[in-house]
Amino acid sequence: MSNISVKSMKLGLIAYKDDEAYYSYCPALDLIGYGNNEQEAQQSFEIVLEEYLKYTTENNTLIADLEEHGWKRIGKNKKLMPPKMSELLQKNNDLDDIFNKYDFNKYSIPVQMQFA
């Protein structure tokens, strides 16, 4: 019997446009998708996220990678929580640039992560 648990959560993304390209960026994972419009950027991000989760799950590195990105274990269940936006802004110069140079929209998407 497998000891894999699946956790559902929401990931915060930032959508913005730079020149002629649109981007969907997840600062908590430092992953980005892009396209010719917002929909293409979101679809691109979903592919990048799927590949990231597949790779880190198959290699049993997901938890270590999340912790490297500033995720913390909280409470009795040691639930993994993404870093706060204020923490990310202090550590991530690219995110700081996005906030200061571009008009952007913040939104969330549901995601399921498998933990061994």
pLDDT digits (tens, 9 = 90+) for 27-85: 999 999 999 999 999 999 999 999 999 999 999 999 999 999 999 988 877 778 899 98
Distance CA 86, CA 43 (A): 27
What residue segments make up the domains of the chain, in order of their start? 14-103
pLDDT digits (tens, 9 = 90+) for 86-102: 999 999 998 999 999 99
Q: What is the pLDDT of residue 80?
A: 84
Which of 92, 112, 105 minimizes the C-alpha distance to 49? 112
Distance CA 32, CA 45 (A): 6
**pTM for the whole thing?**
0.88
Q: Is 80 exceeded by the pLDDT of residue 1?
A: no
pLDDT classification of 2: cutoffs 50, 70, 90: very low
